[in-house]
Amino acid sequence: MAAVRVVDKDVCHATFTNGRIFTDAEVCDRPAAAIRSVATLPVCDPVGSAADGSAHKGNSE
């Protein structure tokens, strides 16, 4: 969500301070691109996957 807030701030600043006008597509594409870029960070990777048997099994032991 931080990436979306940064994009929102940039769009608002460009609009109100610089008078920039964005198309609907530009307004939608910017947050989508921000979400895609942070979704590739290693912190978004799962701890393990069910396929390799290393998924978190809770405190059943």
The residue ranges of every structural domain in the chain are 2-38
Whether 22 contacts 11, CB under 8 Å: yes
What confidence score (pLDDT) does residue 16 get?
92
pTM reported for the whole predicted model: 0.48
Whether 7 contacts 27, CB under 8 Å: no
Q: List per-residue pLDDT tens for the chain, 61 residues long.
A: 677 787 788 888 989 998 999 898 988 888 888 888 777 766 655 555 555 555 555 544 4
Whether 40 contacts 10, CB under 8 Å: no
Rounded to whole angstroms, what are the CA distances from 1 to 7, 32, 37, 44, 50? 10, 11, 12, 13, 27
